[in-house]
Structure 1
């Protein structure tokens, strides 16, 4: 029991450290992407932390299996390197018993991953969808940041305001530059620049919104040519476009698991298999990691790390590829994702029992040689 607690503690501590590092890396990349969208006026900066919080379960459900896999490799690799595993082997610790001890913390991790994949992750994505729907009702006016040039419409419009009131109803020192595109050729046909002393938002009965500019000028022409036309105006209306926010989210990912259980839709059934596959992934990677963690002290603990990561990436990539094939109906739903788990489980068991099998074969060969002699 003491050995079990020691191994479990080493494994869970290492897994937690690795998972934390992976989580910081992934969330930092995502946050930078969302921050860039907020800087362009596509997102309200106030919802960035909410979006990251709701996306956290979706990140963790993929990070924890990898964290457990690397945790076993690093924790047990250290024990082999420092000859602690040699001492345990002398007291009867076999690879099979080590696997049994490892499956206990793996069951804990699988329970957490199952809770995330079946419950929290879909709820989080549904909340992100709700936030994005709210963002879709925003206009360029609602996402303006004073003192910053903001690019919209794929770079065809640049907006700037020097001042913005606290209730976001009044602007001061407005600049708008927009590239004109010919409807016939689809190519750029010139540039329009609007400057104004002040501006305000006006909502029409049909729901469209306009930015009403006051006391300013409009300049039309083509860059590099001296044929610009200048128009002075007292009041000028500019239609405010709605930002197009892209988060690469799928509608089925936001569906509760109970709705997927009774669905006959192929994509829904594939999503259900994917959610159940993630907890199962934890047990399979544990079977793979235990024999891969065995290293010779002279070789170093990182010798098998790269091949092990490549094996894990192959496993995950094959799962994703089969998931796409299931969506398109190329693989029978009865076969589903389960054969991928079975394949890598067989690989793990083969690596686990390869040494006893090899010794048995060698012993049998030696006995046959003696019998012949």
Structure 2
């Protein structure tokens, strides 16, 4: 029992460290993406932390299996390198017992991953979709920040205001620059609007307009003298709605119980994917334990790169098979299970081939002494 607790602690500690690093890396990339949208006025900055919080379960459901895989490789690799595994083997620790001990933390991780994959992650995706739908209802006026140039429409429109009232109803010192495009998309120069102040109006059709007062409009092409200047007392500008891009699909937000009741092949592919992730935990543990066995002379990281490539091949085949089911090229009744069976067979081969070879060599040596 002492050995079991020691090995489990080593694996779980290493897995936690690796998973934390991977989570920070992935979240940083997604946060930069959302931050760029907020900087362009496409997303309310106050919603950033909520979106990232709801996306964490979706990140963890893929990070934890990889973290466990790398945790076993690194933890057991260190024990082999420092000859601790040799001592344990001399005291009766067999490869089968080591594999059985490793399945205990794997079962814990599989339970957590199943909870994330089947329940928490779809709920998080629903909340993220709801937030993004709310952001789609915002206009340029709602996301405008005083003293900052804000680009919209892929950079073809730039808005600036010197001051903005607390209730966001009044602007002062307004500057708007946008490209004048024809219906065919041809560039017809640049239009610039400047005004002393502005306010927002909502019409009966639901469209919102920025009403500018006491200003000028300049239309023309930079570098050419044929431009037009119009002075106005009141000028209305239609406020475009920001288009917020989402990295989540509609099926990811469907509750698991609805997927069970659906016969649609896309829903079946999503259901099998959610069930595959907890199953993947046990299979990669079966693969990682024999791959962690290293010779002290070879170094700790000799098998790390091949092991990671093997894990990537496993995950890539699952994703490719899921895509084939989505497109109707593969029957849902076959599904993702052949991929799991393939790597299960590979894991069993790796786990029991080396002990079987050593046993056969030992028997041959005993017969030679006779």
Question: In 1, distance between residues paired with 2:264 and 2:325?
Answer: 11
Query: 1:70-106 CA distances to partner (integer Å, 9 max, x unpaired)?
Result: 0000100110011100000001112211110000010
1:130 alignment counterpart: 130
Question: In 1, distance between residues paired with 2:368 and 2:171?
Answer: 95
TM value normalised by structure 1: 0.96
For residues 334 and 368 of structure 1, do their structure 2 counterparts lie closer, same or farther at Cα, with a shift above 3 Å needed?
Answer: farther
Query: 1:287-332 CA distances to partner (integer Å, 9 max, x unpaired)?
Result: 0100010011111111111111111111111111111001011112
1:306 alignment counterpart: 305
Query: 1:246-285 CA distances to partner (integer Å, 9 max, x unpaired)?
Result: 1122111001111111001111111000000010010011
2:224 alignment counterpart: 225
How far the C-alpha of 1:364 sits from its partner, in A, is 8.5
Question: In 2, distance between residues paired with 1:368 and 1:89?
Answer: 23
1:332 alignment counterpart: 331
How far the C-alpha of 1:169 sits from its partner, in A, is 0.7
Q: Structure 2 matches for 1:1-373, cutoff 5 A?
A: 1-184=1-184, 186-359=185-358
How far the C-alpha of 1:357 sits from its partner, in A, is 3.7
Contact 2:95–2:355 at 8 Å: present in 1 too? no
Question: In 2, distance between residues paired with 1:324 and 1:213?
Answer: 51
For residues 187 and 174 of structure 1, do their structure 2 counterparts lie closer, same or farther at Cα, with a shift above 3 Å needed?
Answer: same
How far the C-alpha of 1:156 sits from its partner, in A, is 1.0
Question: In 1, distance between residues paired with 2:275 and 2:73?
Answer: 25
How far the C-alpha of 1:150 sits from its partner, in A, is 1.1
How far the C-alpha of 1:362 sits from its partner, in A, is 5.7
SS in 1 for 2:317: helix
How far the C-alpha of 1:241 sits from its partner, in A, is 0.5
How far the C-alpha of 1:133 sits from its partner, in A, is 1.1
Question: In 2, distance between residues paired with 1:92 and 1:27?
Answer: 44
Query: 1:195-220 CA distances to partner (integer Å, 9 max, x unpaired)?
Result: 11111100001110000011111000
SS in 2 for 1:141: helix
Contact 2:15–2:71 at 8 Å: present in 1 too? yes
TM value normalised by structure 2: 0.97
SS in 1 for 2:192: strand
Question: In 2, distance between residues paired with 1:182 and 1:365?
Answer: 86
How far the C-alpha of 1:367 sits from its partner, in A, is 10
How far the C-alpha of 1:356 sits from its partner, in A, is 3.2
How far the C-alpha of 1:45 sits from its partner, in A, is 0.3
How far the C-alpha of 1:368 sits from its partner, in A, is 11
SS in 2 for 1:109: helix
- Structure 2 unpaired stretches of 5+: none
SS in 1 for 2:141: coil
For residues 365 and 334 of structure 1, do their structure 2 counterparts lie closer, same or farther at Cα, with a shift above 3 Å needed?
Answer: farther
How far the C-alpha of 1:369 sits from its partner, in A, is 11
Q: In terms of mean alpha carbon deviation, does 143-152 or 49-58 score higher?
A: 143-152
Question: In 2, distance between residues paired with 1:65 and 1:310?
Answer: 15
SS in 2 for 1:249: coil
Query: 1:143-191 CA distances to partner (integer Å, 9 max, x unpaired)?
Result: 111111111111111111111111111111111111111213x221111
